[in-house]
Amino acid sequence: AAMEEGEGLLSVDYEVFGKVQGVFFRKYTQGEAKRLGLVGWVQNTSHGTVQGQVQGPTARVRELQDWLRKIGSPQSRISRADFSNEKEIPALEHKDFQILK
């Protein structure tokens, strides 16, 4: 039987565009991911965006995707969030949610 939506583990790459550097976006993303029990990473890019990967239960990953699209850190202004490489995974590939330099 196929797993119900929300039962399996999902891995998604993301990139967030807008005013997202120098506004504690990575710190808030890490905090939100940890609150949701997700693992992965986040980092600034050289072209002014924030990118990373998130893994965890499908329903929780969806919550973080919404957060990355609409909320972000208090000082941020998100113009858009792109998601790619979405796939179901048998097990988590990260131990926690890290901020990469």
Of these residues, 26, 62, 80, 85, which one is catalytic?
Answer: 26
Pick the catalytic residue: 35, 44, 62, 80?
44
Q: Is 26 a catalytic residue?
A: yes
Q: Is residue 44 annotated as a catalytic residue, yes or no?
A: yes
Cα 51-53-54 angle, rounded to 5 deg: 130
Question: Which residues are catalytic, by number?
Answer: 26, 44
